[in-house]
Amino acid sequence: MSQKGCFLRYLKVGDGKIPISKHTNKDRQEVQTMTQRKVILNVHVADKLIKRGFQVIEVKPSTKVRGRAVFIFNITPEFSAAMQDITKNGF
């Protein structure tokens, strides 16, 4: 809940909205950074991207499946083209 004197605004991210404090820019910067990144859940897809020269920004434990990892990549036009190629030709 909001505290007295602290008004919440919503920042549109993809199809949804997240609440952010009116007085902080940190939340906004983190959300903008995350919209420029892609989370890959499939190890085989991540492996193909790595072999094509894309660098993994971060590896984190999956919040969906216990014991699995997620791979985070920066989104670039080249990355988007590689993802289309990988998904089109199968992984």
The tens digit of pLDDT for each residue in 10-48 reads 666 666 665 555 545 554 555 555 568 999 999 999 999
Given a cut of 80, whether residue 86 has pLDDT beyond it is yes
- This prediction has a pTM of 0.61
Identify the pLDDT of residue 64. 85
Domain ranges across the chain = 1-35, 36-91
Identify the pLDDT of residue 58. 92
Nearest partner of 22 among 3, 50, 46, judged by Cα: 3
Query: What are the tokens at 57?
Result: 């920004």
pLDDT, average across residues 63-75? 91
Is there a contact between 14 and 51 (Cβ–Cβ < 8 Å)? no
User: Mean pLDDT across the chain, nearest whole number?
Assistant: 78
- Say what angle helices 43-51 and 77-89 make with each other, to 10 degrees: 120
